[in-house]
Structure formats: structure tokens, C-alpha cells
Amino acid sequence: MSKVRAATVWLDGCSGCHMSFLDLDERLIEIAGSLELVYGPLVDAKEFPSNVDVALVEGAVGTNEDIERIKKVRERSKILIAMGDCAVTGNVPAMRNSFPVAKVLARAYQENADLNQQTPTVMLPTLLPRSRPIHEVVPVDIFLAGCPPPAGLIYDVIKELLAGRVPDLSIRCRFGA
């Protein structure tokens, strides 16, 4: 039996969802026989691969690079999971949405800087006018709320998918939990 090809992606978020994934601890060993992690910050792959069975995506879509990345992830993945409140609702990254991008950049790189008070002009992705949840950019198959989602819930979702079932999260997860 071939392994399920899984990927994790980190967009505009804090990496808390990835930390929760790592909190599966010994359960990672249990699922390792059925799951092959082919992409993510924990894997050395540079390019998002084709034929991904399940992609767990953390974070909101806040930059032009995030749009390109999430479109590629959706195109190359059978099941896309919005993992965590930032991916599901925009959450903390969306707090900037009531301010113009120029003011956000000035606050981050000039007002709060002690040295070199200037906005970088290279190696900085272009901020979108507003940070958006993933489903506003691409279709999402499963919404896994929580900030971050608890490791046990991530485990249960993965186990259900490995068993060929779509997990029912209607009573299992809530925002901020």
C-alpha cells in the first residue's frame, strides 16, 4: 500500500499550527507508516510537489507571494485543509486590514525601528491591501479552527483521512480553542 503524500504550508501566521502538529509527539511515529511528508518547513523540499494527497495550510493570505503559493498548493493537492484561525478567518494577520498598507509598513519599519528606519525595497513581498482567509482565494475542503488547533484534533483529522473518511468537525473545533 502506498503512503498518503502530505504537505504542510506556512503562509502569514505565527507557526503555532506547525508547533501543534509537532505536538503529536509519538503519534507522529504511529502515522509515519501511512503518511509521507513531502513538503513543509520541516522538510528540505524547495518546490511544492505535484500529486499531494493532503495539504495542511497555516496562515492567512497577506502578500502577492502568498497568493501564488496557495494557488499552486490548491492546484497540486487533492485535499486542502485550512489549519488554524488565521487560515480559516484571517485572525491576527487580518488585524492590519483597517489600515492602509503604507501606514502598516511605516509602523513596522520606521516608527518601531531604532536603527535604519526605512522600509526595505528588496526581498520584501508586496503586502496585499487586506489579509484574507484562504477560502477567499482558493477552494478549501476542510476547515480546522483553533489558535492553534489542538494536536489531538489534528491527529484525529489525519487518522480519519488515512481511513478514507472525511472528518466531521462540526462539534469538535471552535475558534480560539
pTM of the model: 0.92
**Weakest mean pLDDT among 87-101, 105-119, 127-141:** 105-119
Mean pLDDT for all residues in the chain: 93
Burial 108-145 (b: 16+ CB within 10 A, else e): eeeeeeeeeeeeeeeeeeebbebbbbbbebbebbbbbb
User: Which percentage of the chain shows pLDDT scores above 90?
Assistant: 82
Residue 173 pLDDT > 70, yes or no?
A: no
Q: What is the pLDDT of residue 45?
A: 85
Domain ranges of the chain: 4-93+128-162
- Of the candidate CATH numbers 3.40.50.2300, 3.40.50.700, 1.10.3720.10, 3.30.300.130, the domain formed by 4-93+128-162 belongs to 3.40.50.700
**Weakest mean pLDDT among 29-33, 120-124, 167-171:** 167-171
Range 106-130 average pLDDT? 91
C-alpha to C-alpha distance for 11 and 97, rounded to whole angstroms: 17
Range 126-145 average pLDDT? 97
